[in-house]
Structure 1
Amino acid sequence: MTKHIVVLGAGYSGLIAAKLAAGHADTAVTLVNARDRFVERVRMHQLAAGQELRDRRLADLLDGTGVSLIVDLVTGIDADAKAVRLANRAEPLSYDTLIYALGSQADVDSVPGVREHAMTVAGFEQASAVRAYGTVAVVGGGLTGIEAATELAETCPDLKVRLVTGGVLGGAFSERGRKHVRRVFDRLRIDVRDEVRVAEVRADGVVLADGEHLSADTVVWTTGFRVSPLAREAGFEVDGHGRMVVDDTLRSVSHPDVYGIGDAAAAHMSTGQELRMACATGIPCAVYAVRAIGDRMAGKQARPLKFRYFNQCVSLGRRDGLIQFVRADDSPIEKVLTGRLAAFYKEAIVKGAYLAQRHPRLVSMA
């Protein structure tokens, strides 16, 4: 009997999961996504800086795979009926197995004024809308903020770019990594205000917790992410952030016919450490989830997720970068790769992540 697998979300994890699932016998796979394009989210800082990106049509990426594509917005999930409600479809979409991969979005509601006055780089439409001019304040000192600030400063040298962060610039890196990031920021003349908290965003800049006003013509908000409320609303067990709680095979702990992958799921290493949001974790989780589904369909015991970290790859413009090598638990070691070689390395990783979308069996064999 043919099993219907429905995949929600065509990001780095969802697209791979759909294509791999379609390779199982006696399965029909439907992929639901709000856009008809695949978004290379790790390039959104380039798009915000005005660079053109290649058009990635989902129809082209799915050609010949047997996956059915529905371009529509998911409005709800009926877990009891095992059906998905869509905005433009009268009849619910029924499933035997659901793969929940709806990803994450920028959190624009945690600080007053962000929704009204700030730009984000979390999605295609948002990054496309960035119109940087004059003075730009990039809020957030994580990888996204560092990449956005350096890309804007390098691509648009007439801009005055400032990065504002609650932590120390590059605090997650080793000493060598932090020093290199600081050198690049100095070279690109990026002003840094670290260890400060933004309390409000206004049309003319940001207000810090101590009341200081930092003027800016454009504010780019890169700190904080949130997930769709659909998992919580459907009655799936979620954590405090609304992420689906899954076991070591990526299956929902409350609904055995549902799997969660990517940013929308709270997956853990065998040590109990939660995986961070990244395509570097979403892609292998997609592979493991589909393997688990296939094992269970074949009457076998599903194999648990095995994962370790190797490095963090950071773009610092198109001609520089930082590859921070890490321990298995993602903590940094002193070994780093910097400069043009690091930029080449990061670009190879980004291209490899897209290549995996075209040929997912390459990663499934790893």
Structure 2
Amino acid sequence: MKDAAGSGHRVVVLGAGYAGLAAAVQLAARGQRRGPGRVRVTVVNAQERFTERMRLHMAATGQRLAELSVPELLASTGAEFVRGWVTAVDAQTRTVRVDDELVLPYDTLVYALGGVAGTDAVPGAADHAYTLGGAQDAALFAERLDRLVRGTVVVAGSGLTGVESAAEIAERHPRLNVVLLGRQEPGARLDSRARAHVRAALDRLGVHVRSGVEVAKVLPGAVELAGGESVAADAVLWTGGTRVSPLAAAAGLTVDEQGRIVTDAALRSVSHPDVYAVGDAAAVRQAYGIMHGTCQSGMPTGVHAALSVDRELRGKEPKPFRFGYYHTPVSLGRGDAVVQFTRPDDRPRRICLTGRAAVRYKETVTASPWPTYGRMKKLPSSGAFWPRGGRFTRRGGTK
């Protein structure tokens, strides 16, 4: 068993998604200000490639995205990158085990292991459905679509990921019959105008929407609904929710019923204050309730965790985390979109953008956080940089 040790305050960041990378870049930048070796930041992630989850519905239809490298971004920050799977966290000895071989000790842990597709609750979903868990999963689904000359594709889950995926599939593969199944109406959390635009776009693309239904089982060539009805399917894309890694619970950290780490106001674990939880892995309570996981909320938690660690190292108490939602962008293929502006508690305002204006807004403001990380490296004194510059991540072109 190898042991990685060293001097300085050791910060280990688990996960290099939107929240974890935001935390790592800010921590490394601020650590450099404190002097060489004073703060050592190590980022652990299973892949070197950064997964743009906001674009996976595009990758799932064969559209090629830019190759974004986590080590490349971290190269000038002083942070160390370790590629591997986190197999255990020992909160008592303050160590992390990677691939059952490498042991990383930490003084502060930033836990940013995001969610994966929640296929466990429905029999057959894990075995017979495709997911958007990462770039490889999306590529496998894209290959399946390319092999279908005719047939039916069922998108299980009518949340925003399901809506975006169904629209993208129908636009890119008009020869296929696309069926969107879910308990709720597509765009249920949007206001009436935005919701009507979503439905009109799906109708225009030929997506067959069935709301108020629940998938009870996924079979090799069909999905079975609650009540016994069967819907034939040549391919099933599962977008019905996510689940988090069981590592936090196994480590003895206090978690909620979904396995997310329960945090205090500063994003520290309520049971282990040397552990910060960010992004989808954290149950973060605000005045309006528990935050739900999005890039919009995930990146701010990562930055706040970095600022809090920096304050602690300077002998100060971390400040409470405060966050309010601003918008809900929804892609409807490449030439259409909806942007619903929201109140801080995520309730819809009466203002929304639709069509080309929404597409431009989404691409300019929300489509990619990658340039944001670069600005974080250069401006470590501020934590208020949020996503801009979506075109950067489309430079890879399309097939």
> Is the CA contact 1:84–1:94 (under 8 Å) kept in the aligned structure 2?
yes
Tell whether 2:146 aligns with 1:129: no
1:350 Cα deviation after fit: 3.7
Judge which range, 75-84 or 271-280, deviates more: 271-280
State how far apart, in whole Å, the 2-side matches of 1:218 and 1:290 are. Answer: 42
Q: How many residues align?
A: 364
State how far apart, in whole Å, the 1-side matches of 2:300 and 2:19 are. Answer: 8
Per-residue displacement from partner, 1:74-122 (whole Å, max 9, x unpaired)?
A: 10011111000111534x1100000000000001110011011100112
Match of 2:252 in 1: 235
TM-score (norm 1): 0.97
Residues 74-113 of structure 1 aligned to structure 2 (within 5 Å): 74-87=86-99, 89-90=101-102, 92-113=103-124
Give the partner amino acid of 1:288.
H
1:54 Cα deviation after fit: 0.8
Give the partner amino acid of 1:323.
V
1:321 Cα deviation after fit: 0.3
Out of 7, 21, 28, the residue aligned to residue 27 of structure 2 is 21
Match of 1:204 in 2: 221
1:14 Cα deviation after fit: 0.6
State how far apart, in whole Å, the 2-side matches of 1:28 and 1:256 are. Answer: 19
* SS in structure 2 at match of 1:336: strand
Match of 2:69 in 1: 57
Out of 36, 40, 43, the residue aligned to residue 52 of structure 2 is 40
State how far apart, in whole Å, the 2-side matches of 1:263 and 1:325 are. Answer: 22
State how far apart, in whole Å, the 1-side matches of 2:327 and 2:175 are. Answer: 33
Tell whether 2:310 aligns with 1:306: no
State how far apart, in whole Å, the 2-side matches of 1:142 and 1:351 are. Answer: 18
Out of 355, 358, 367, the residue aligned to residue 342 of structure 1 is 358
Per-residue displacement from partner, 1:306-339 (whole Å, max 9, x unpaired)?
A: 1111110111111000001111110112211000
State how far apart, in whole Å, the 2-side matches of 1:117 and 1:76 are. Answer: 29
* SS in structure 2 at match of 1:119: coil
Tell whether 2:84 aligns with 1:72: yes
What percent identity do the matched residue pairs reach? 44
Give the alignment's Cα RMSD to 1 decimal. Answer: 1.3
Tell whether 2:190 aligns with 1:173: yes
Tell whether 2:383 aligns with 1:364: yes
> Is the CA contact 1:325–1:332 (under 8 Å) kept in the aligned structure 2?
yes
> Is the CA contact 2:288–2:345 (under 8 Å) kept in the aligned structure 1?
no
1:352 Cα deviation after fit: 4.3
State how far apart, in whole Å, the 1-side matches of 2:305 and 2:124 are. Answer: 39
> Is the CA contact 1:72–1:88 (under 8 Å) kept in the aligned structure 2?
no
> Is the CA contact 1:36–1:71 (under 8 Å) kept in the aligned structure 2?
yes
State how far apart, in whole Å, the 2-side matches of 1:234 and 1:300 are. Answer: 28
Q: Label 1:323 to 1:272 Cα distance change in 2 as closer, same or farther (>3 A).
A: closer
Match of 1:222 in 2: 239
Per-residue displacement from partner, 1:219-254 (whole Å, max 9, x unpaired)?
A: 000011000000000000000000001111111110
Tell whether 2:206 aligns with 1:189: yes
Match of 2:13 in 1: 7
TM-score (norm 2): 0.89
* SS in structure 1 at match of 2:285: coil
Match of 2:394 in 1: none
State how far apart, in whole Å, the 2-side matches of 1:122 and 1:325 are. Answer: 27
Residues 229-268 of structure 1 aligned to structure 2 (within 5 Å): 229-268=246-285
> Is the CA contact 1:18–1:29 (under 8 Å) kept in the aligned structure 2?
yes
State how far apart, in whole Å, the 2-side matches of 1:330 and 1:364 are. Answer: 22
User: Which of 1 and 2 has higher RCO (CA within 8 Å, sep 6+)?
Assistant: 2
State how far apart, in whole Å, the 2-side matches of 1:352 and 1:116 are. Answer: 32
Judge which range, 356-365 or 39-48, deviates more: 356-365
1:281 Cα deviation after fit: 0.5
1:345 Cα deviation after fit: 1.2
State how far apart, in whole Å, the 1-side matches of 2:244 and 2:13 are. Answer: 16
> Is the CA contact 1:177–1:334 (under 8 Å) kept in the aligned structure 2?
no
1:255 Cα deviation after fit: 0.5
Structure 1: any 5+ residue segments left out of the alignment?
Answer: none
* SS in structure 1 at match of 2:67: coil
Judge which range, 189-198 or 166-175, deviates more: 166-175
1:365 Cα deviation after fit: 3.5
Structure 2: any 5+ residue segments left out of the alignment?
Answer: 1-6, 386-399
